[in-house]
Amino acid sequence: MKPSSRTFLVTGATGNVGSNAVSHLVAAGHQVTGLTRSRSAPLPPGVQRFVADLTDSARLQDLPRTDATLLIFPSLTADHAARDIVTRLASRTEHIVYLSAHGVERVDPDAGGIMGSHALVERELALTGVNRTLLRSSGFAANTLMWAPAIAAGQPVRAIAGDARRTLIHEDDLALVAVEAMTRGPQRPVSSLHLTGPEVLTQREYAARIGTVLGRTVVFEELSDDEAMATLFAGMSDDFGRSIIEGQKRMITDPEARTDTVEEILERPARPFTEWVRDHEAAFTASPS
Ligand SMILES: NC(=O)c1ccc[n+]([C@@H]2O[C@H](COP(=O)([O-])OP(=O)(O)OC[C@H]3O[C@@H](n4cnc5c(N)ncnc54)[C@H](OP(=O)(O)O)[C@@H]3O)[C@@H](O)[C@H]2O)c1
């Protein structure tokens, strides 16, 4: 393969979406820098590492110049530094592809919570005037990994808002769309892509589909808000927990809307949830360590 002279930066390079994006960019022969907090976090061979913690933007003054950046932002924990981070990134790159969230356009940037965090980053990006592609994603299929320990132990899934209807998306579909946007370059100063999975199902139905792939019944038990705060979000900020609960409950009456954007960009349908489960089956069958 002919090496490319095109340069790309990926933040969140060890996470669900970033790690897949890094792998695809490297496999296509591009020069890739992965931003990680740790000096030893695994990155594919050939990837340059830039060690930085995005809660401290000062370090970003040494960033290499790149053709495009995939910005995966530590929602809430780095909000205080959002303006500095975005300004520094925008001065070092031609195009920012930002992993945002579905529904952000209806949210006040000062609202707080996860959605407020995405609205804040989108506002800061707009203020810089940088070319940007906003990947406004529905919920990630990977969120159901939270259920994996219970399912692997043969216990019920205990979660919130069983009737919330979502269109969960495979993280690798998001990564491929991000890579397409980065390598194609900005088609216009601002592009917003509403990205979803191929189906709209309730949380209970997603749990049942995991059971179908595993060949057994997975029981879903709904938690009250207080039970969820005391168990699922124990040790996390109140703001974080409450914003997730409210967001999930809203999707009971106002489900995530499905789009064909992934298919239009990748020229094949978005991958169904059962395919995602098969790709991650080991997580749902692993014995607890
Ligand atoms: N889950 C959903 O349903 C959903 C839907 C729409 C949008 N989103 C957004 O997607 C993003 C998360 O993407 P993901 O699931 O691919 O990530 P992830 O798997 O949750 O991993 C988080 C990544 O961010 C890095 N990170 C965390 N704190 C950092 C910091 N202070 N400085 C630098 N890097 C830091 C982590 O690196 P380390 O290796 O250093 O930990 C890791 O690479 C968030 O902004 C979230 O709001 C999520």
Residue 24 sits in a domain whose CATH number is 3.40.50.720
pLDDT digits 0-9 by tens, 202-228: 999 999 999 999 999 999 999 999 999
Residue 68 included in any domain: yes
Angle 155-158-159 (CA atoms, 0-180°, nearest 5)? 150
Q: Where does the pLDDT of residue 237 fall: very low under 50, low under 70, confident under 90, or very high at 90 and above?
A: confident
What's the structural domain count of the chain? 1
What percentage of the chain carries pLDDT values higher than 90?
A: 90
Residue 145 included in any domain: no
Residue 282 included in any domain: no
pLDDT on residue 3: 78
Residue 83 included in any domain: yes
Of residues 240 and 263, more confidently modeled: 263
pTM: 0.96
Residue 88 included in any domain: yes
Domain of 104 in residue numbering reads as: 7-138+171-196+258-270
Residue to substitute in 97, 140, 171, 273 for testing ligand 1 pocket (most ligand atoms within 8 angstroms of CB): 140
pLDDT on residue 289: 61
Residue 250 included in any domain: no
Residue 238 included in any domain: no
Which amino acids bring their CB within 6 angstroms of ligand 1?
Answer: 12-18, 36-38, 41, 53-55, 72-75, 77-78, 99, 101, 114, 137, 139-140, 143
pLDDT digits 0-9 by tens, 83-129: 999 999 999 999 999 999 999 999 999 998 889 999 999 999 999 99
Residue 278 included in any domain: no
